[in-house]
Amino acid sequence: MCEDRIVAALDVRGVRAAEWDQLEEKATVVYKPKKISEERIQQLVADAGHDTDLYTATDEVYNGLADCCLYRSGCQGCSDREKHLEHDQDDDRR
Protein backbone atom coordinates (compact mmCIF):
# COMPACT_ATOMS: atom_id res chain seq x y z
CA MET A 1 0.00 0.00 0.00
CA CYS A 2 2.72 2.41 1.02
CA GLU A 3 4.88 1.40 -1.90
CA ASP A 4 2.13 2.07 -4.39
CA ARG A 5 1.63 5.58 -3.16
CA ILE A 6 5.30 6.47 -2.90
CA VAL A 7 6.18 5.05 -6.28
CA ALA A 8 3.18 6.78 -7.84
CA ALA A 9 4.19 10.09 -6.23
CA LEU A 10 7.61 9.80 -7.80
CA ASP A 11 6.24 9.01 -11.22
CA VAL A 12 7.32 12.39 -12.58
CA ARG A 13 9.63 13.69 -15.25
CA GLY A 14 13.28 13.35 -14.30
CA VAL A 15 12.88 10.35 -12.05
CA ARG A 16 14.23 7.30 -13.80
CA ALA A 17 13.40 4.70 -11.18
CA ALA A 18 11.92 4.65 -7.70
CA GLU A 19 11.73 1.77 -5.28
CA TRP A 20 10.34 1.51 -1.81
CA ASP A 21 11.77 -0.87 0.74
CA GLN A 22 9.10 -1.51 3.31
CA LEU A 23 11.32 -3.25 5.83
CA GLU A 24 14.03 -0.64 5.81
CA GLU A 25 11.53 2.20 5.37
CA LYS A 26 13.77 3.49 2.66
CA ALA A 27 13.04 4.85 -0.77
CA THR A 28 15.68 4.57 -3.45
CA VAL A 29 15.29 7.12 -6.20
CA VAL A 30 17.32 7.40 -9.36
CA TYR A 31 16.93 10.78 -10.99
CA LYS A 32 18.44 13.16 -13.49
CA PRO A 33 19.67 16.24 -11.62
CA LYS A 34 19.24 18.42 -14.69
CA LYS A 35 15.52 17.73 -14.74
CA ILE A 36 14.54 17.48 -11.10
CA SER A 37 16.12 18.55 -7.83
CA GLU A 38 16.53 16.51 -4.69
CA GLU A 39 14.40 19.03 -2.82
CA ARG A 40 11.58 18.55 -5.27
CA ILE A 41 11.74 14.78 -4.82
CA GLN A 42 11.62 15.15 -1.05
CA GLN A 43 8.67 17.51 -1.43
CA LEU A 44 6.82 14.99 -3.59
CA VAL A 45 7.26 12.27 -1.00
CA ALA A 46 6.10 14.60 1.75
CA ASP A 47 3.07 15.56 -0.34
CA ALA A 48 2.19 11.90 -0.48
CA GLY A 49 2.11 11.75 3.30
CA HIS A 50 5.60 10.68 4.31
CA ASP A 51 8.00 12.89 6.25
CA THR A 52 11.49 13.19 4.86
CA ASP A 53 14.65 14.91 6.12
CA LEU A 54 13.61 18.21 4.61
CA TYR A 55 9.86 18.24 4.57
CA THR A 56 6.99 17.19 6.76
CA ALA A 57 3.72 15.92 5.42
CA THR A 58 0.63 17.92 6.26
CA ASP A 59 -1.57 16.37 8.92
CA GLU A 60 -4.43 16.29 6.50
CA VAL A 61 -2.60 14.04 4.07
CA TYR A 62 -0.93 12.04 6.80
CA ASN A 63 -4.19 11.19 8.51
CA GLY A 64 -5.55 9.92 5.23
CA LEU A 65 -3.01 7.10 5.10
CA ALA A 66 -3.78 3.51 6.00
CA ASP A 67 -2.72 2.52 9.50
CA CYS A 68 0.22 0.49 8.48
CA CYS A 69 1.74 3.40 6.59
CA LEU A 70 1.74 5.75 9.58
CA TYR A 71 5.47 5.85 10.02
CA ARG A 72 5.38 8.99 12.11
CA SER A 73 3.98 7.15 15.09
CA GLY A 74 6.36 4.29 14.57
CA CYS A 75 3.45 2.36 13.22
CA GLN A 76 2.42 -0.58 15.34
CA GLY A 77 3.13 -3.14 12.68
CA CYS A 78 6.74 -2.21 12.28
CA SER A 79 8.09 -3.27 15.67
CA ASP A 80 6.12 -6.50 15.48
CA ARG A 81 7.44 -7.15 12.05
CA GLU A 82 11.05 -6.84 13.10
CA LYS A 83 10.54 -9.21 15.98
CA HIS A 84 8.81 -11.59 13.69
CA LEU A 85 11.61 -11.59 11.15
CA GLU A 86 14.13 -12.45 13.84
CA HIS A 87 11.88 -15.23 14.92
CA ASP A 88 11.71 -16.48 11.35
CA GLN A 89 15.43 -16.60 11.02
CA ASP A 90 15.59 -18.72 14.15
CA ASP A 91 13.20 -21.11 12.52
CA ASP A 92 15.49 -21.43 9.54
CA ARG A 93 18.39 -22.54 11.66
CA ARG A 94 16.34 -25.28 13.18
Partner 1 sequence: MPRSISLVLAVAAGLLILPVSAQKAVTVKGKVFSKDQVDHSGHDHAPSEGREEENWLPLPGAYVVWKSTGQGTATDSHGFFRLDGVEGDTLVASFIGMTTVELPFIGQTYVEIPLGEGFQLNEAQVVAKGPTTSVSLLDPLVVQSLGRDELCRAACCNLSEAFETNAAVDASFTDAVTGTKQIRMLGLDGKYTQIMFDNQPGARGLNILQGMKFIPGEWVDQIHIGKGAGSVTLGHESMTGQINVSLRDADIQDKLIVNGFLNRAGRFELNTVSRHAVSRKWKTALLTHGEWADRINDRNSDGFQDNALSKDVVLRSEWEYTGDRGMRGEYAVTAVTQEKESGQLPLLDAGTNGLWMADQAVNRVVATAKTGYVFPGDDGRSLGSQLTLGNHDQTLSFGPYRSYIADQQFARLNLLHQMKTGRGDDLVVGLSAKADRYDQALIQDGTFPVPGGIATVRREEATVGAFAEWTVKREQWDVILGLRSDVHDTFGVFVTPRLNARWSVSDAISLKAAAGKGWRTSVPLAEFAGVWASNRSWIFPESGSVDPFRGLQPEESWNLGLNLLSKFTLGYRDASFNLDGYRVDFSNRVFVDLDTPGEATIRQGRSQSRSAQAEFWWDWTKRLDITLAYRWVDASSDYDPDGFDGYGGYRKDPFVAQHRGFATVAYGSRPDAKGRQWRADVTFQVTGPQRLPWTFENDLVDPRYVRPSEAPTFVTGNVQISRDFSEGQQIYVGVENVTDYRQAEPIVGIDYDTAPGEVQTVSGGPIGDDALFDAAIVYAPIFGRNVYAGVRWAFGR
Which residues sit at the interface with partner 1, rule CB under 8 A?
1, 3-4, 7-8, 11, 15-17, 21-33, 38, 41-42, 45, 50-53, 56, 63-64, 66-68, 70-74, 76-77, 80-81, 84-85, 88
Q: What is the smallest separation between the CB atom of 18 and partner 1, expressed in angstroms?
A: 9
Report the phi/psi class of residue 41: left, alpha or beta, with left for phi > 0 and alpha for psi in -120 to 50. alpha
Where are the alpha helices (H) located in the chain, listed in sequence order?
A: 2-9, 38-47, 59-63, 76-93
Other C-beta atoms closer than 10 Å to the C-beta of 41 total: 21
Q: What is the smallest separation between the CB atom of 90 and partner 1, expressed in angstroms?
A: 12
Q: What is the smallest separation between the CB atom of 94 and partner 1, expressed in angstroms?
A: 9
